[in-house]
Structure 1
Amino acid sequence: MSIPGRIEFVEVGPRDGLQNEKLLVSTQDKLALISRALDAGARRIEVTSFVNPTRVPQMADAEAVCAGLPVRDDVTFIGLVMNMRGAERALATGRIDQLGAVAVATDRFAMANQGQTSDESVQAAKSIIALANAEGRTAQCTIAASFGCPFEGEVAQDRVVEMAAALAEAGPVEIALADTIGVGNPAHVAELIARVRDAIAPLPVRVHFHNTRNTGLANVWAAVIAGASIIDASVGGLGGCPFAPGAAGNVPSEDVVYMLERAGIDTGMDLDRLIETSRWLSEIMGRKLPGMVAQSPAFPVAA
Structure 2
Amino acid sequence: MDPELEAFVPLFPKADLADPVSSREMLAGLAVSVPAPDVSGMTVEDVMVPADPAVPVRIYRPQEAHGAIVWLHGGGFVMGTVDTEHPWAARLADLSGAVVISVGYRLAPENPFPAAFDDAYAVLSWAVDHAAELGVDPERVAVGGHSAGGGLAAGVALKARDEQGPRICFQLLNQPGLDDRQESWSARNAIDTPWMNRDKVAAAWRHYLGGAPATPYAAPARAEDLSGLPPAYVGTAELCPNRDEDIEYAVRMLRAGVSVELHQWAGTFHGSQAIVSAEVSQRQLAELGAALRRGLAG
For Structure 1 versus Structure 2, the TM-score category normalised by the shorter chain is 0.3 to 0.5
What is the TM-score with the length of structure 2 in the denominator?
Answer: 0.38
Tell me the TM-score normalised to structure 1 length.
0.38
